[in-house]
A = this chain, B = another copy of it.
C-alpha cells in the first residue's frame, strides 16, 4: 500500500503536457477525482490518478471530445469500476451478472464509437492518399519528359 510513488501537480502536468492550473480546473469541474494530499495540502497523484488523466487527455486530443463528453465517459468508467468492486463482494450471482452486463455495455459502446471514428478518418485519409497518387503520377510523367529533353540536348 505504500510502494506507490506519488507525484505532485507540477510533475504530473509536465508529464502530460498540461499546466498545473488545468489539472486543478479539471478537478474543479468534476472531471478528475480529487487526489490525496500531503499534510500541508499539496496534491499527490497516484499512478491510478495519472492513468485516468491520460485517458482523459487522449479522448480530448485524439477525438476532440468536449470536457462534458469526456466526463460522461469517465463517469461510465467509474461506475464500471464501482460495479466491479461491488460485484466481487455481492453474494448474489444475479446482481453480479447485471453489474457486469451494464459495464460491458458501456465498454462496447465506447469501442463502437471509436470504430466509427476510425472508419471515417480512414475514408478521409484515402481521399487524400488518392489525390497524392494522382499528383505523383503526373510528377513522374513530367520528370520523364524532362529527362528525355536532357538526353536529347546532350547528344
Q: Which residues of A contact B (CB under 8 A)?
A: 58-65, 80, 93-94, 96-97, 100-101, 103-104, 107-108, 110-111, 114-115, 117-118, 120-122, 124-125, 128-129, 131-132, 135-136, 138-139, 142-143, 145-146, 149
The smallest beta-carbon distance between A113 and chain B, in angstroms, is 9
How many copies of this chain does one complex carry?
2
Known: A58-B124, A104-B135. 5 other contacts (CB 8 A): A93-B145, A96-B142, A97-B139, A101-B139, A114-B128
A52 to B132 CA separation, bound complex (whole angstroms): 17
B93 touches A110 (CB 8 A): no
Q: Is the interface of A mostly helix, strand, loop or mixed?
A: helix
Which of B108, B124, B136 is in CB contact (< 8 Å) with A62?
B124
